[in-house]
Structure 1
């Protein structure tokens, strides 16, 4: 079996999986319909773009269609960015302003218009036969790199803000989709780097065997990427939770606050009230505790309590609440009457809902894992 045949078989599998995922995303019943449809379109475009490695040996498409198949990839990065936005924000809706994300694709079409799309069929054939020597193609490669890098930066910036919002407002964030989105972006970044290396070699290298091998490796990476997504969707069907777009970072709350300066006396009173409530009522035992819930319980505006904890006390809400949980866990571990309690029972009792974040928080606070700490004091 030659390398091209192997490439075709791998591509066929990838196209099948991508289209299957797209159909699933278009038809599955979920709250995040916009996000699923955006990702469904993303996988459809992905399948169309990569299909050339399968059909090129058997089918000769019209030159215009083949060019559009190649350039449709300029919609991928914008779609991925919009998908991340729709996954992060529960009230995300597609609006007319989002049509601006069609600009990269439109510019690419306009770039090729004079020498290809508006040219005669004979001129298109000449353009295709000398494809890589055309200035439009060389510029397009650089332009595509800039577009992809720009959107990756935008995605990472969005995820950075998302993570900070989770830390400032939620006491348990393992049920949110931050890790999934971050892993997705990292994997795509790695594939993008390898794809860029392949593109560079296409222009500077002269060994077709090396280029074909790079193509096979790239398609295998894509196959692994799609398989990972399938496994994620199978193991974590309820993975996704999102936040409201009106949810502001604490620095923005301070900027919009009418009283930006809090007096020392008022600050001391608020802190004492908060600490007394935490110690007597133990609201942190609620695994789903959020800063909104705590504000309601204290009968204080959300803005005030958020600024108090995240700004004045100088701790993210996530860390602030987990410190109380760990102190409670230490008390339970040190009590001889609780020696039969398992670590799992203790973590649930103090407000955590899974072992990994409990172990991480406990070690951060004490320097030991819960098990090591129990052995240390026994």
Structure 2
């Protein structure tokens, strides 16, 4: 597995926190530990940290500000239930027993908790943070089409939305299994749904989380833009004044770069790549493209790709090329993206366009 250097710390913390309740049961069963410290650090109250950490992980890759007071606020449920478990949790039962959550949450003779109270709270916590995560992704103000010429799952964070869905599934199946011991008779495979959803959750988190680097780069570009805007304000240069700047030289360089060098054939072409070649900031280049061509970077690059694809589809020397091959030759990295963008531009599918030509 290739681990990105800028992997947010919250992802690492997630993989530390998730096994904590299991470690608490293991320590209690193997070594007979049952102290306040063990109950505090290795109790099932750690489940209340998974939702907040996943939420902060999403915020970190979406360039959202994370304040210390917000971290403390979202940690309150974990702190409260940790203190609660010090007083009410019974010693862990042998590790071989089932239903470890029930064993840890079982009240002592001193205090009695409502039946399934903590299991219900964990389920509600999971659902609450799943909703927050989905809303955060959908309401993100990052305009990815201003920075990338190809939009995939890692840019749209579609995998994180699916992860949030699995997080809800994990909560619901866990609640059903604990609250309704006989549910396996009326709901087939209910006991398998919990472990399966847990496995899928960990798989998605590890497979995609450590590979997620795209929006981290976008964060750097966004911060760079903010600094350039601040600097411009300090010298009394506001963005609207850029309209008075002559972009003729930049326009000529852009045409040479895109048409002469055919840079659009690079399927991973980004705004930052072009800005380096043009020796201008990403902020200035984005402004130039929007003002001069009345389109964002995504559409600007894909217009060149579609024009190139149309040329190849009409070229008899490419008759033996499949539609997918034509798409790859034009700078697209998938058949679905090629078909979608092509139809948006021409109102025809690539196959129909080839037949019409």
Tell me which interval the TM-score lies in, with the shorter structure as reference length.
0.5 to 0.7
Pairing 1:46–2:18 present: yes
For 2:346, the equivalent position in structure 1 comes to 366
Measured after TM superposition, the shift of residue 244 of structure 1 is 4.8
The 1:117/1:352 distance shift into structure 2, 3 A limit, reads same
For 2:86, the equivalent position in structure 1 comes to 117
Q: Secondary structure at the match of 2:289?
A: helix
For 1:145, the equivalent position in structure 2 comes to 124
The 1:270/1:363 distance shift into structure 2, 3 A limit, reads farther
Ranges in structure 2 where 5+ consecutive residues have no aligned partner: 92-105
The 1:110/1:198 distance shift into structure 2, 3 A limit, reads closer
For 1:168, the equivalent position in structure 2 comes to 146
Q: What is the rounded CA distance, in whole Å, between the counterparts of 2:7 and 2:262 in structure 1?
A: 39
Partner residue of 1:247 out of 221, 225, 234: 221
Q: What is the rounded CA distance, in whole Å, between the counterparts of 1:293 and 1:308 in structure 2?
A: 15
Listed as ranges, the matches of 1:219-298 within 5 Å are 219-226=195-202, 232=207, 240-241=213-214, 242-248=216-222, 258-261=237-240, 273=252, 276-277=255-256, 278-279=258-259, 282-298=262-278
Q: Deviations over 1:48-96 (max 9, x none)?
A: 436899999999874854675210112212332344456667xx9xx9x
For 1:15, the equivalent position in structure 2 comes to none
Q: Deviations over 1:139-164 (max 9, x none)?
A: x95597368625752565257648x4
For 1:210, the equivalent position in structure 2 comes to 183
Give yes or no for contact 2:123–2:171 (8 Å, CA) kept in 1: no
Pairing 1:73–2:44 present: no
Q: What is the rounded CA distance, in whole Å, between the counterparts of 1:119 and 1:329 in structure 2?
A: 69
Measured after TM superposition, the shift of residue 303 of structure 1 is 1.7
What is the TM-score with the length of structure 1 in the denominator? 0.64
Q: What is the rounded CA distance, in whole Å, between the counterparts of 1:311 and 1:142 in structure 2?
A: 52
Give yes or no for contact 1:191–1:218 (8 Å, CA) kept in 2: no
Q: Deviations over 1:163-219 (max 9, x none)?
A: x44321121344x7336x4324323334425625864897xx7x5312896554323
Partner residue of 2:154 out of 151, 168, 177: 177
Measured after TM superposition, the shift of residue 40 of structure 1 is 5.0
Ranges in structure 1 where 5+ consecutive residues have no aligned partner: 1-27
Greater shift, 118-127 or 359-368, is seen at: 118-127
The 1:219/1:281 distance shift into structure 2, 3 A limit, reads closer
- Number of matched residues? 330
> What is the root-mean-square deviation of aligned Cα atoms in Å?
5.0
Q: Secondary structure at the match of 1:247?
A: helix
Give yes or no for contact 1:38–1:82 (8 Å, CA) kept in 2: yes
Listed as ranges, the matches of 1:127-146 within 5 Å are 130-132=112-114, 137=117, 145=124
Q: Secondary structure at the match of 1:177?
A: helix
Measured after TM superposition, the shift of residue 322 of structure 1 is 0.6
The 1:158/1:289 distance shift into structure 2, 3 A limit, reads same
Give yes or no for contact 2:264–2:301 (8 Å, CA) kept in 1: yes
Listed as ranges, the matches of 1:58-69 within 5 Å are 62=34, 65=38, 68-69=42-43
Q: Which has the higher contact order (CA 8 A, sep 6+)?
A: 1
Q: Deviations over 1:70-129 (max 9, x none)?
A: 10112212332344456667xx9xx9x66963553444334663x65368989961356x
Give yes or no for contact 2:170–2:198 (8 Å, CA) kept in 1: no
